[in-house]
Amino acid sequence: MFEDLAGRIAVVTGGARGLGLTFARALARWGVQPALLDVLPEVADSARALQDETGVGSVGVVTDVTDERSITDAFAQVGSVLGAPSILVNAAGITVWEDSIDAPRASWQRVIDINLTGTFLCCQALARACRSAGQRGAIVNVSSMSARVVNVPQHQASYNTSKAGVDMLTRSLAVEWAPLGIRVNAIAPGYVLSDMTRQFTDANPELAQRWTEMIPAGRMAEPSDLEALVVLLCSDRSSYLVGQSVVIDGAYTAI
Ligand SMILES: NC(=O)c1ccc[n+]([C@@H]2O[C@H](COP(=O)([O-])OP(=O)(O)OC[C@H]3O[C@@H](n4cnc5c(N)ncnc54)[C@H](O)[C@@H]3O)[C@@H](O)[C@H]2O)c1
């Protein structure tokens, strides 16, 4: 089904754990060599484990997606270890819960820098790598249903705004880069059980119950629920699917 992916090289940001690592593993099962970029030092162990498990080459590079120099160095390392990347999955992201009225500017800025500006800078790096290598590309940005709805009861204005920006960035780059053969799409997940959400639900199990009651599908997603969509968006099988942010949320936003 996705045989066209075999032998291609992908950069997956936020790849040390969570959704990024799940997506990298799913791509590796189709023969993609994933490079994992993350601020966490354990990204190297994640890449080694992924390589042992799937038998395809991988590399983990400590990278800060808010730092252009760090991104340039990481892409150079990926190029020399695995080869020129033609796929990018932007999964690095953070959320901060706070009341906007008292939120420090630095906290707002950090969320925008990582979730939105970091996504832009990595898209730019992938597009430049494709241009240098004379090859086509596919980008999947990890947005959120929070780009379209305001989740409750938590207050996360910076996160919601950053993801709305990711959706518009996705459409903008898709239009601009379609003539270059670089397809840009996004996925917009609902609540997923990952380290990001567990930091809240572990401390507050009633929260998970409240969220679940709002999801028509009756449960939060597992990271693996999203992986087939990401693989499809990376593959040429979706070559006419361009500039979309595909909601995958158990019908949360349908009501
Ligand atoms: N978990 C959910 O419910 C959910 C829902 C919708 C969207 N998302 C999005 O999915 C993506 C992955 O989230 P997750 O749930 O796997 O969370 P996670 O916290 O498990 O993973 C996020 C990863 O991003 C990395 N990261 C953070 N700042 C970085 C930086 N400056 N440079 C490089 N890497 C950085 C973290 O170290 C971490 O490994 C995020 O963009 C998140 O907003 C998550």
Q: Is 200 within a domain? A: no
Q: Is 62 within a domain? A: yes
Ligand 1 atom nearest the C-alpha of 90 is: 41
Residue-level pLDDT at 195? 85
Please count the structural domains in the chain: 1
Q: For this structure, is 191 an active site residue?
A: no
Q: CA angle 195-65-225, nearest 5°?
A: 35
pLDDT digits (tens, 9 = 90+) for 18-41: 999 999 999 999 999 999 999 999
Q: Is the CB of 62 under 6 A from ligand 1?
A: no
Q: Is 197 within a domain? A: no
Residue-level pLDDT at 149? 98
- Between CA 191 and CA 182 the distance in angstroms is 29
Q: What is the share, in percent, of the chain residues with pLDDT greater than 70?
A: 100
Tokens of 46: 């994640």
Candidate list 159, 191, 240, 252, residue with the active-site label: 159
Q: Give φ, ψ of 245 to 5 degrees.
A: -115, 105
Residue 200 has pLDDT above 90, yes or no: no
Query: How many angstroms separate the alpha carbon of residue 179 from the centre of ligand 1?
Result: 30
- Between CA 179 and CA 244 the distance in angstroms is 16
Q: Is 72 within a domain? A: yes
Residue 199's pLDDT band, with cuts at 50, 70 and 90, is confident
- Between CA 51 and CA 16 the distance in angstroms is 13
Mean of pLDDT over the chain: 97
Mean pLDDT across 196-214: 92
- Between CA 211 and CA 246 the distance in angstroms is 21
Is the backbone of residue 218 left (phi > 0), alpha (psi -120 to 50) or beta? left
Ligand 1 atom nearest the C-alpha of 145 is: 6
Q: What is the domain range of residue 94?
A: 3-191+223-248
Contacts of 217 (CB under 8 A, 6+ apart): 250, 251
Least Cα distance to 112 among 171, 165, 170, 150 occurs for 165
Q: Is 79 within a domain? A: yes
Name the residue with the closest Cα to ligand 1, atom 23: 14
Q: What is the CATH number of the domain that holds 126?
A: 3.40.50.720
Query: How many angstroms separate the alpha carbon of residue 80 from the centre of ligand 1?
Result: 26
Instruction: Give the three-state DSSP class for 202.
Output: coil
Query: How many angstroms separate the alpha carbon of residue 90 from the centre of ligand 1?
Result: 9
Q: Is 215 within a domain? A: no
Residue 48 has pLDDT above 90, yes or no: yes
Q: Is the CB of 162 under 6 A from ligand 1?
A: no
Q: Is 156 within a domain? A: yes
Q: What is the share, in percent, of the chain residues with pLDDT greater than 90?
A: 96
Tokens of 204: 């507050």
Q: Is the CB of 66 under 6 A from ligand 1?
A: yes
Q: Is the CB of 40 under 6 A from ligand 1?
A: yes
